[in-house]
Every structure is written in structure tokens, then in C-alpha cells.
Structure 1
Amino acid sequence: MAEHYEVIIRSISAFIILLLGSRLLGKQTISQMNNFNFIAAISIGAITANLCFNTRVKIPDLILAYVIFILTVYFISYVSLKSRKARKFLAGNPTVVVQNGKILENNMKKMHYTIDYLNQQLREKDVFNINEVLFALLEPNGTISVVKKPQFRPVTIQDLHLKYTKEGMLPIELIMDGKIVDKNIIENGLSYSWLESEIQNRGLKISDIVYAVLLSDKELYIDCYNDYIHSPIDAE
């Protein structure tokens, strides 16, 4: 029974230090899995797993190993931030797999990259015909970047010579789970009276609202707890 309690304590400790480590290393390690980040994630996971279940190894020893590894990864990430050469050495360079509409088979062989996988990643970019591609680059994190030929690119406002406003803003969340987000109201120079007026004009109360956001076009979007949908779709 004592071993069960030890596993529980070790698992909680592992979760806490893993959370702290991920916060220290930043979002890039989580989101962009290049070679360096992949090795770091695997190693950190192995140390954390041992902390949870390997009761033969003392907790302080594993925590020390974890801290040393996290600090090493953090230091290397810092060096990469300051040095482009270090960044390229650790993460690698993008590889051109399509140039001027032609597939570069030699580059693909070097990366062990197949035509099937190229087509799959192009479809993920909404490119179903390879003749639409002008350039395609395989990024260090395994994703593909695509430049379409001019005739296949979507029309823009600039192409149509239409007037547009250059200034924009990020959406501002005003209500979350029936509560006003005071910080966003104050920081963006909005007023409570304006928000209450907008809500009353729609015949609602703040407690009725699960989510309200001021969109980039300055339109207020509101979603209520009761959506009045008689047959909501619940299939996954």
C-alpha cells in the first residue's frame, strides 16, 4: 500500500515539474518539433516517466537530472536565439522539394521523403493538383510551405483595386462564462455602460451569456447558454 502512495506522490510531482519545465522552455518547444525539440521532448518524457514509476530510483536524483536537462535545453535554446549558425545547426534548413513546378527527386531522396507524403501534405494545404505548385519547401519541423503559381492564387482586395482600412485590431473577449472580463474592458478603453446597453438591446442579461467578444470589425458577437436549438448535433 505504501508503494501506491509513493507512485501517487511521484506522479503528481512529475506533472508539476513537467508543467514548470514546459513553461520555462516556451511554446516553440511544444509547437515546432524540429530535430532538437524532438530529442528534448523525448528525453524529458523519459525522465518524467521514470519519476512516476521507477520507485528504485530516488526522487531527488530524478528531479536533479530533470532540472539539469531542462537548464541544458534552455541554454541551447538561448544560444540558438542569439546565433543563426547555431539555430541552423540544431534545427536544420528547409529543403526545396518543388521548384518552378518541377519535383526535385534528389532532394526528396536525401530527406527520405516520398511522392505520396508530398501529395498528402499538399492536400492539407488545399492543393489537390500538383501543377498548381510553383515552389514547395519541406520545413525543419516536417511541415510543408507552398507557393502557388500566380493563376491559382486567390484574388485579393489589392488585385480588385478596392479601398480598405489598414488599421485593425485583435478580437477582445468581454464576457467569459457569464462574467465580465474587467481587464479587457479597462485596457481597451471600453465602458461598462456601453456593454450593458448592447446586451440590453438584445434582450439579454450578463448571466445569460457564455461568451461575448468584440470582433476585429468592431461588431459584438454574443453566444448564450440557451441557444434555442431544438435538435443539437451531438455526434463526434
Structure 2
Amino acid sequence: MEIIIRTIAAFVLIMIIAKILGKHTLTQMTYYDFVLSITLGAITGNIAFNTALGSGHLTVALLTFGGIAYIVALVTMKSRKLRKWLSGKPTIVIESGKILENNLKKLKFSIDTLDQELREKEIFDIEEVEYAVLELNGKLSVLKKQQYRQITQKDLFNLSSAQAKKSQFPIELIMDGEVVSENMKHDGMSPEWLAQQLNERGLALEEVFYAVRGTNGSLFFDLYKDHIKHPVDPGNEKSN
């Protein structure tokens, strides 16, 4: 029982430390991945090399932590709030071409680091950036201003038909079948408006797995039933 309690306490403490360290220290891992990796590695290393500690106790600790990780994985699949707490959430650091200094400060993310991340994406002039988001894995995602993007056939069509619009940040409306009320409220969208959009498409809320308003203002809905009889399995594809 003492080993189980110590293992649970270690999990909680390392999660707190990971959050204090900030996203940019985690490279390609989320908070949860970071904690899981170092804790399992440490316990496994002790089982292999630390003869001063009983292997039975360390095995109990490893199995306990593995059980915690498994239960957490199951619960987070159904709970967006728990996912956000464990892994954090993306943070906007540039919005409408403006650097959000307070967000950088909260993330312990310096302007030098921001410039470096942009240069790695071949962006040497920050004025080219419309939006920049620090993702869960510590990577920076960038949406350039319209005049600095590569032109596609759709862009040419929009220009020729006078349909070009100013880009906006994509807003997630439904995730895992649940309405993201905070996003809708922040952007002035009402539940009635969403219900109307669903009704116009002949959809019910319980049918929708994911919905987002894209950068051009268009709505995208992904349903639980995809009606794909034979999904592609990359592992079974034959090489030419």
C-alpha cells in the first residue's frame, strides 16, 4: 500500500513540475507524454539497475503507474476537460498580426524563441504572420497573412469571382460530440445559430463528432458514421 501511495504521489508531483516548466521544454511531447515517459523510464531503470531496492516493490510501482496511465487514457477519451488539464491547450501568441505579450509571459516563451521558431519555418519578417499558435507538443503553428501565402486554384477562383475574404482563426464548435460553448460564446455564436446550421444540413447534434469554422468562415462537419465500407490501412498497402 505504501508503494502504491508513493507512486500516485510521484505522478501528481511530476505533473505539477511539468506544468511549471512550460510547453516549450517538452519538444514534441504533451505534459502527459512527458510525465509518462520519464516516470516509466525511471521506475524501469531502477528495476534493472538499483539492487538496493527490492524488485518486488519496484514491480508493484511500475504496474501501479501503468494502471494509472491506462485508466487516464480511457477517461481522457471521454472527457475534454481532463484532456485539457493533462495535456494543456494550444495558446495563441500572435493574433491578427499582433504579438500577445501576456501569453508569451505566461508560457515563459521569449521573443527570441518566437523569432527562432518563425525562422525555422522560413519566416524572417514577423509582419507576414496573421496567427501563430503554440501547440500542445511545444511546436509553433503559423497562418500567414493572405498576401504572403502560396496561391492555389481556389484562391484564383475567389479572386476572379470577387469572393476573397479576410482570414480568421478557426473555431472548434463541436468536439467528441459535445458543443464547445466557451468557443461559441467568445465569438458571439449562439446555440440557436448552431442548431440552425445543423438543421440546414439535415443533421442532429448526436450525429456530429467534430465541427469547426475554418479560416475562410466555412463550416466543416465530421459525422460519427463516415459511410466508408473499406477504410485504407497503410500497413497493408502494396509497394509499387
TM-score normalised to structure 1 length: 0.54
2:53 corresponds to which letter in structure 1? V
Which residue number in structure 2 is paired with residue 74 of structure 1?
70
* CA distance in 1 between partners of 2:87 and 2:129 (Å): 25
- In the alignment, is the contact (CA less than 8 A) between 2:133 and 2:140 conserved in 1? yes
Tell me, yes or no, if structure 1 residue 126 matches structure 2 residue 122.
Answer: yes
* CA distance in 1 between partners of 2:97 and 2:237 (Å): 48
Which residue number in structure 2 is paired with residue 155 of structure 1?
151
Counterpart pick for 1:41 among 33, 37, 41: 37
The SS at the match of 2:52 is coil
Aligned identity (percent) is 44
The SS at the match of 1:56 is coil
* CA distance in 2 between partners of 1:171 and 1:105 (Å): 44
- In the alignment, is the contact (CA less than 8 A) between 2:27 and 2:137 conserved in 1? no
Tell me, yes or no, if structure 1 residue 110 matches structure 2 residue 106.
Answer: yes
Query: Offset of 1:38 from its aligned partner?
Result: 1.2
Tell me, yes or no, if structure 1 residue 51 matches structure 2 residue 25.
Answer: no
Which residue number in structure 2 is paired with residue 233 of structure 1?
none
Structure 2 regions of 5+ residues with no counterpart? 1-25, 158-230
* CA distance in 2 between partners of 1:171 and 1:108 (Å): 41
- In the alignment, is the contact (CA less than 8 A) between 2:129 and 2:145 conserved in 1? yes
Query: Offset of 1:170 from its aligned partner?
Result: 7.9
Structure 1 regions of 5+ residues with no counterpart? 1-29, 162-168, 174-182, 186-212, 215-236
Taking only aligned residues, the RMSD between alpha carbons, in angstroms, comes to 2.6
Larger radius of gyration: 1
* Number of residues of Structure 1 aligned to a counterpart in Structure 2: 142
* CA distance in 2 between partners of 1:70 and 1:157 (Å): 50
Query: Offset of 1:101 from its aligned partner?
Result: 0.6
* CA distance in 1 between partners of 2:27 and 2:233 (Å): 23
Aligned ranges 1:6-45 → 2 under 5 Å? 32-45=28-41
* CA distance in 2 between partners of 1:67 and 1:49 (Å): 14
